Amino acid sequence: MISHLRTMWLVFRHLFQKKVTVQYPEEKVPLYPRWRGRIVLTKDPDGGERCVGCYLCAAACPVDCIALQATENEEGRRYPEFFRINFSRCIFCGYCEEACPTYAIQLIPDFEMAEYNRQDLVYEKEDLLIDSQGKYPGYNFYNVAGLDAGVKEKGKGEDEETPVDIKSLLP
């Protein structure tokens, strides 16, 4: 009984404490770099699209709001033919960013993307692609992958030996 009264007293005292409410449109919300907001597709240091269309973000998405189609240029570099995020379904969980093996898809600290028309919340690749490397500057997936896709030749990668000469019997 005493503890009940004490609880009531403690709660009552909060009447006079500082309020945490941020009066949003007038006051701005402080957003930190890792804040999970609007989703963007970034570019690698050479200005090429980072997304290789591996479908992992789409598979990771718990609300299935990412759809894409991978395609390939003549050099064998993969990129998405289309990349669509239905933000009216997105829950900003960030799983797509976690799943992305190329740092292409990133969630940025921006949440001011409300629309009057729900259809306008469907973002295509043109709406998602930004001309920046985002949070991971300097990374280019094709430099560390084994595939020759026009970025580096076989054997020229960071951890690669020159290609094997299969006609040689030397050890």
Partner 1 sequence: MTVMQHIWIVLGVLFVFLNIAAGLIWVERRLLALWQDRLGPNRAGPLGLFIVLADTLKLFFKEDWIPPFADKWVFILAPAIVVASVLMGIAIIPFAPGIVVADLNVGLMFFLAMSSLGVYSIVLGGWASNNKYSLLGALRGASQMIAYEVFMGLSLMGVVMLSKSFNLTDIVNAQKGLWFVVTQPIGFVVFFIAGLAETHRLPFDIPEAESELIAGFHSEYSGMKFGMFFIGEYLGISLISAMTATLFFGGWLGPAFLPPVVWFFLKTFLFIGLFILLRASLPRPRYDQLMGYGWKLLLPLVLLNLLVTGAIALWLRS
Partner 2 sequence: MPTIYIDNKPFDVKTGKNLLEACLSLGIDLPYFCWHPAMGSVGACRQCAIKVFKDEEDTRGRLVMSCMEGVKDGMRISVNDETAKAFRSQVIEWLMTNHPHDCPVCDEGGCCHLQDMTVMSGHNYRHYHFKKRTYPNQYLGPLINHEMNRCIQCYRCVRFYHDYAGGKDLNVFAAHNHVYFGREKDGVLESPFSGNLAEVCPTGVFTDKTLKEHYTRKWDLTNAPSVCQHCSLGCNTIAGERYGQLRNIVNRYNHEVNGYFLCDKGRFGYEFVNSENRITQPLIRNQPIEATEHDTVLQYMRALVTGHNLIGIGSPRASLESNYALLELVGKENFYQGVPDDLVYVEQKIVDILQSGTVHTPSLKEIEQADAVLVLGEDIWNTAPIMALAVRQSVMKTAATHTTEQLPIPTWHDAAIKELVQEDKGFLANITMLPSPLDEISSSSMKAAPDDMARLGFAIAHILNPSLPEVRNAGEELLSYAATISKALQAAKHPVIITGTSCWNNALIRAAFDIAAALDMNEKKAGLAFVMQDCNSMGLAMTRASSFDRAVAAIQRTTNVTAIILENDLYRSIPAAKADTFFNKCKHIVVLDTLHNRTTEKAHVLIPAATFAEADGTFVNNEARAQRSSQVFMPANSEIRESFKWLADIKSLVTTASNGHGKHMDDLLHALEARLPQFAGVSRVAPPHDFRIHGARIPRESHRYSGRTAMLANLTVSEPKPLQDDDSSLSYTMEGYRGLPPSPLIPFFWAPGWNSGQSVTKYQEEAGGALKGGDPGIRLFEQTTAPPVFSKDIPDAFTPRAGKWMLLPQYHIFGSGELSVYTKGIASLSAEPYVSLSRRDAEQSQLKNGDTVAVKTDGKTYTLPLSINESLPDGIILVPAGLTGMEALSWGAWVNLSTVIV
- Report the length, in residues, of the chain: 171
Cβ atoms within 10 Å, residue 115: 11
Cβ atoms within 10 Å, residue 116: 5
Triad 117, 93, 96: Cα angle to 5° = 95
Residue with the two structure tokens 């701005």: 28
Q: Is 4 in the site for partner 1 (CB under 8 A)?
A: yes
Q: Binding partner 2 by CB under 8 A: which of 7, 73, 124, 136?
A: 124
Distance CA 32, CA 58 (A): 26
Nearest partner of 111 among 90, 136, 84, judged by Cα: 90
Give me the least distance between CB of 11 and partner 1, in Å please. Answer: 4
Site residues for partner 2, 15-44, by CB under 8 A, read: none
| Nearer Cβ to partner 1 (5/170) | 5
Give me the least distance between CB of 19 and partner 1, in Å please. Answer: 5
- Residues forming contacts to partner 2 in the complex (CB under 8 A) are 52-56, 58-59, 61, 63-72, 78, 84-86, 88-89, 101-102, 118-119, 121-122, 124, 141, 144-149, 154-155, 157, 159-169, 171
- Residues forming contacts to partner 1 in the complex (CB under 8 A) are 4, 7-8, 10-12, 14-15, 17-21, 23
